[in-house]
Amino acid sequence: MATADGLRLYLDALDPGGNFNSSGTTRVVCEHHEDWVALRDEDAELVSAKHPGLPFGAYSTLNSLADDGGVAHLFNRWLTMGEKPTCRLVTTAGASDRAHKLVEIAVTARQRRLDGEPFLPDPEQEELLTGFGRALLKHCDGLPQRWTSPNGGPPESIPTADHRQQIIRFLSIFTFQDSVPRKYAPYAAPAMFAQPVLDRLGSTAPAGSVWEAVLAVFRARMRAAGPTPIGGLPPVLADPVGAASPTPAVFEADLASRIVTLTDIDLAIRTAIANPTGFAPLPRLMRTSRLAIKMEVGGCTDNTVERAEQLRADYTDFWRDPLAADPSARTRQQRLHRLLLRISDAATDRVKKPAGRWGADLWRQLEADLDQHQDTLPVDMDADLALGGLCELSNRCKVWFSDSFDIASEQARRRPAEGAGS
């Protein structure tokens, strides 16, 4: 999401013809004060990103918004900086109940500020502001010492009317922003965030390559892995007697490894446009065996599929000589196959789900069941080799790791891609 902010700032610096104006001082400072800070000349916005995951739901209480949402920390940084920056919470979680009502107050207070009008809360809003003030007292470091009772009044009087006015000033510069869930961001980000910039530039380069190029810059800066002009040289005669306090320019130079400038973004974008394949995702291996296709459709990992293919090859080697030299070996193999099919049938009943993929669960269940049948397996055959037998049966379309489908059509679809990559 910091990368998305950087691309928006870059888009704002492009004229309608796609020409980049590099004369400003717009930049993003990563992991300093907050998750990142967007700066344009003298204006600053502190941004906190909270991605608790889809199961979290929504912030429903004022305490949850202040603590889990990180708004109390934003409030603390805003106070420390003299109430000058704006603040934004970027989150995948929504807001409901009292937290949602507070977000609505923030929207109204911001509009009143922009219109140059005072925000006069009604009794219900006053109660919400008081509740939020008490939530801040719990979760904002140092606030209990800052917010003292007037004239020695009881602590219950906090927050006072003056404190509530301070909260209103904060809410008037606070924005609650919905974010793309982390699970979907890699797929949605190129179209949502990089494509508008390419459209302005008039470029037909792949949006995914441009997104990856700019994202790589932000990943590095988030880890303070940007440029370090002095390397690892120690400070020498840094603060001699009579020296003045460091200037803002000196402080910013110390943060160079965390700063992303618009020039950095411009360079990354133009490099990706010139060399899109250098930033494209690595092509995925297209497997064409029936076993591999079935396991991938069932949701098995690449490592599981690789192991299954190896076990199947080992199983085939195990029977090669006996089948060629001993006429009774075919009967023993068929008996084993009947046992393996019975095991797979029972295991499927235990793990199959009406919705969602269950191939990985079946694989683990088959492993556990074969361990229990070690005594019934042929001599010199362990549970892993028997699992290879199930893999061979799957390759013959006797065992499935999902509901059955037209595997011949899927093989035909994959084979051209296999030939093109060879």
Q: What is the pLDDT of residues 86-122, one digit of tens each?
A: 999 999 998 999 999 999 999 999 999 999 999 999 9
| pTM as predicted | 0.69
pLDDT of residue 422: 38
Q: Could you tell me which residue, 55 or 175, shows the higher pLDDT?
A: 175
Q: Look at residue 419 and tell me whether its pLDDT is greater than 90.
A: no
Q: Could you tell me which residue, 229 or 404, shows the higher pLDDT?
A: 404
Report, as an integer, the average pLDDT of 137-161.
78
- Nearest 5 degrees, angle CA 55-CA 220-CA 68? 30
* Strands 259-261 vs 58-59: parallel, antiparallel or unpaired: unpaired
pLDDT of residue 89: 96
pLDDT of residue 157: 67
Q: Look at residue 155 and tell me whether its pLDDT is greater than 70.
A: no
Q: Could you tell me which residue, 282 or 7, shows the higher pLDDT?
A: 7
pLDDT of residue 242: 81
Distances (CA, A) of 138 to 3, 8, 135, 141, 398: 32, 35, 5, 8, 62
- Nearest 5 degrees, angle CA 66-CA 155-CA 79? 45
pLDDT of residue 153: 63
Q: How far apart are CA 360 and CA 365, in angstroms?
A: 9
Q: How far apart are CA 37 and CA 49, in angstroms?
A: 11
Q: What is the pLDDT of residues 259-309, one digit of tens each?
A: 999 999 999 999 999 999 888 877 778 899 999 999 999 999 999 999 999
Share of the chain above pLDDT 70, in %: 96
Q: Dig out the tokens for 309 from the structure.
A: 């293919």
pLDDT of residue 421: 43
Least confident range of 129-138, 154-163, 262-271, 363-372: 154-163
DSSP character at residue 191: I
Distances (CA, A) of 75 to 59, 173, 284, 389: 17, 11, 45, 62
SS3 state at 67: helix
* Strands 86-91 vs 174-178: parallel, antiparallel or unpaired: parallel
Closest CA to 2 of 26, 35, 24: 35
Query: What angle separates helix 97-115 from helix 123-139, to the nearest 10 degrees?
Result: 110
Q: Which residues, other chains included, contact 297 with Cβ-Cβ below 8 Å and sequence gap of 6+?
A: 357, 359, 401, 402, 405, 410
Whether 213 contacts 279, CB under 8 Å:
yes
**pLDDT-derived band at 420, boundaries 50, 70, 90:** very low
Q: Which residues, other chains included, contact 160 with Cβ-Cβ below 8 Å and sequence gap of 6+?
A: 149, 150
In the 3-class helix/strand/coil scheme, how is 335-359 assigned residue by residue? HHHHHHHHHHHHHHHHHCCCCCCCH
Per this entry, what is the length of the chain? 422
Q: Look at residue 254 and tell me whether its pLDDT is greater than 90.
A: no
Report, as an integer, the average pLDDT of 1-19.
95
Q: Could you tell me which residue, 217 or 32, shows the higher pLDDT?
A: 217
Q: What is the pLDDT of residues 163-196, one digit of tens each?
A: 999 999 999 999 999 888 888 888 899 999 999 9
Whether 66 contacts 138, CB under 8 Å:
yes
The pLDDT mean for the chain works out to: 90
